[in-house]
Structure 1
Amino acid sequence: MNNLPKIFIIGSVCKKTQSFKSGGFTLIELLLIMASISLLGALTVPLSVRFLQGQILDETANGILETLRRAQNSAIYQKNDSAYGVAFFPGYYVLFQGNSYSSRIAGADEIFELGGNTSISGIVEVVFSKLAGAPSAVGVLIASLSSVSDSRSISISAEGKIEK
């Protein structure tokens, strides 16, 4: 007959394994999640702070620009038959009525606070002449924050053009 070996299956061995897996997380999974959240926070917080500081600078520059234009328009339209100007000090600036800050009508002052650690450098005082609106000082105002190297510039030309 045939010389092939005969294979007999005597029985099958079945092992039933019991799973100890529960519905929770392992310690390693929790550590990975915490590390991911920490990394995400470490990356987004500085960007958010920088964005906020940029917004503060933009608001400050826009406020100064608006105040300078108000002073110029008041002088051009000869409001109260007077010249108008803006003077800059540490922490605030003043819209005033008169030919200079020292000879102004103090009761007409409008004081504007600078937000945060904002500082203004450049022109200290500018007065716009009646009717023509010509500025007494030309140059660049720079609004900056002490905590960042970012700044915003506002230029005043001899022709009276005020722009950011």
Structure 2
Amino acid sequence: MKKGFTLFEILLVVAIIGIMAALVPVAYVRLFTDTSVDTAIKTYKTTVRRAQTLALSGEGGDGWGVYITTGSATIFKGGSYAGRDTSFDEVYETSGSVVVSGIQEVTFEKITG
């Protein structure tokens, strides 16, 4: 009896390798996208919490806010992003592959009373 592989066995192995090679890039892209979204969400959440903390503590004697765009979140001092004091801006970069829509500006007033 001769030792070796049959044509069927070789074709079966090549087909399995081909299927695996087709699925790995899809899984990698999905993993990368999920990671980008999670990182962006954490960044946006952290910046909103920081702006809230700055406003609650009365830092700078004014309100604070966050302006969220695709690719970044900016913590600003003032009642609005348009009327802010740019010297207090803190910019946090996020993945440009995550597109932001909806509310872009969140503001917190300083505590009075």
Common fold: TM-score over 0.5: yes
Which residue pairs with 1:78 in the alignment? 58
Distance 2:41 2:67 in 1: 15
Q: State the 1:102 CA deviation.
A: 1.9
- TM-score, length of structure 2 as denominator length: 0.83
Could you list the per-position Cα deviations for residues 42-77 of structure 1 after superposition, in whole angstroms to 9, with x for gaps in the alignment?
234323322321221111111101100100011000
- TM-score, length of structure 1 as denominator length: 0.60
Q: What SS does the aligned partner of 1:25 have?
A: coil
Distance 2:10 2:96 in 1: 39
User: In the alignment, is residue 54 of structure 1 matched against residue 34 of structure 2?
Assistant: yes
| Residue identity opposite 1:120 in structure 2 | V
Q: What SS does the aligned partner of 2:99 have?
A: strand
Distance 1:87 1:55, change over 3 A: same
Q: What SS does the aligned partner of 1:118 have?
A: coil
Which residue pairs with 1:15 in the alignment? none
Aligned length: 112
Q: State the 1:124 CA deviation.
A: 2.1
Distance 2:20 2:36 in 1: 25
User: In the alignment, is residue 109 of structure 1 matched against residue 79 of structure 2?
Assistant: no
Distance 1:127 1:57, change over 3 A: same
Question: Relative to total residues, which structure has the larger helix share, 1 or 2?
Answer: 2
Distance 1:116 1:41, change over 3 A: farther
Q: Which stretches of structure 1, 4 residues or more, deviate above 3 A after TM superposition?
A: 24-28
| Residue identity opposite 2:19 in structure 1 | L
Which structure exhibits the higher relative contact order, with contacts defined as CA atoms closer than 8 Å and separated by 6 or more residues?
Answer: 2
* 1:15-34 alignment, distance < 5 Å: 19=1, 21-22=2-3, 24-34=4-14
* 1:1-164 alignment, distance < 5 Å: 19=1, 21-22=2-3, 24-131=4-111
| Residue identity opposite 1:98 in structure 2 | G
Q: Unpaired segments of 5 or more residues in structure 2?
A: none
Could you list the per-position Cα deviations for residues 14-38 of structure 1 after superposition, in whole angstroms to 9, with x for gaps in the alignment?
xxxxx4x24x434432221111111
Q: RMSD across aligned C-alpha pairs, in angstroms?
A: 2.0
Q: Unpaired segments of 5 or more residues in structure 1?
A: 1-18, 133-164
